[in-house]
Amino acid sequence: MQRKVPVDTHIDNTGFGSNSNMEGARLTNKDGSINMIKTGLPFITRLSIYHSLLRMPRFRFWAMILLFYTTVNLFFAAIYYAIGVDQLAGGTLGESVFARFMKAFFFSSQTLTTVGYGHVSPEGMVANLVASCEAFIGILAFAVVTGLVYGRFTRPRAFILFSNNMLVSPYKGGRAIMFRLATYKNNHLTDAEATVTAAIHTREEGKETTKFYSLKLEITRLNSLALSWTIVHPLNEESPLYSYSHEQLMAGKLELMVTVKAFDDHFSNTVQQRTSYTAAELVYGAKFRPMFERAAAGAATVLQLDKINDYERVALNEGTLESLGVKP
């Protein structure tokens, strides 16, 4: 007979709703972002361009900068072409339409970047006004781009690598849920602290609800995150997940939401990183393989980051398997 989880063990201050019928898939994405789409206000009101550009992947960020630079130059080149390329003195490129437009385009790029080689210059009031406006926009634009590059470069990040799966492993004569993490840059984190919240969907009085539980960890804080850290939640009688079988965890769409906070010596600031694990990423009867070893000369320790996901199957005792709802 399975134990029933005490009704007063779940928490209601997670910031997520308890109505399962209103939820989509996982609550938190693997990269730590919240799996949510906001509506009800105009898109431009909901969009924070600054935050989007700071969090944007590196390739997409530079692609956006290049697209902005090219678009602005094409816009002003079209204006110069419309008012007459003959108002741009010097640097004759021929009489074809393409050559005249390219003359306007390259003059625009020189004006936007305030390079000004000097062999092409505006003549007349209209051309000079357009060039003045473009130079002003160029100064503002490059100041913003410089600030964004600096902000992306100096933005505190934890640079933590998480294992792809969480495991149910033998632990002190019983079992425990485990996953592990490690820093993958040449930074050093101290005072690392981990918190894990479990979300599981249940049916009560004919209504689908989501219950949240704060999971007790074997170790919640490390003075120094030098090597890998295996986060362990013992599945003992104090665990809110103790009475759930394998089938119940899968049917309940179990999700573990993980937050790790630490102090980075290089940034002199507190950094944090989030991720989540779903029931589909839970592996029963396995344990992690070691991912560090002594160096050949014996003077240092080698942390093998490519082995963070390595695990091997292990036998769980029959009692444990029965309690999980898995046939031995």
Residue 129 to residue 213: CA distance in whole angstroms: 64
CATH of domain 43-154: 1.10.287.70
Q: Is the dihedral of CA 78, 84, 87, 89 positive or negative?
A: positive
pTM over 0.85: no
Q: Which amino acid is at 44?
A: I
What ranges do the domains of the chain cover? 43-154, 157-324
Cα of 327 vs its chain's centroid, Å: 38
Burial bucket for residue 57 (CB in 10 Å: 0-12, 13-18, 19+): exposed
pLDDT digits (tens, 9 = 90+) for 132-167: 999 999 999 999 999 999 999 888 889 999 999 999
CA-nearest of 262, 258, 260, 259 to 188 is 262
pLDDT digits (tens, 9 = 90+) for 187-242: 889 999 999 999 988 877 777 888 899 999 999 999 999 899 999 999 988 899 88
Tell me which CATH homologous superfamily contains domain 157-324.
G protein-activated inward rectifier potassium channel 1 (2.60.40.1400)
CA-nearest of 186, 158, 173, 185 to 274 is 158
pLDDT digits (tens, 9 = 90+) for 2-25: 444 444 477 777 777 776 655 667
Is the confidence at residue 77, as pLDDT, over 60? Answer: yes
pLDDT digits (tens, 9 = 90+) for 250-298: 888 899 999 999 999 888 899 999 999 998 999 988 999 999 888 887 7
What pLDDT band is residue 300 in, cutting at 50, 70 and 90? confident
Q: Is the CB of residue 107 less than 8 Å from the CB of residue 87?
A: no
Q: Is the CB of residue 182 less than 8 Å from the CB of residue 308?
A: yes
- Looking at residue 22, its pLDDT comes to 59
Is the confidence at residue 93, as pLDDT, over 60? Answer: no
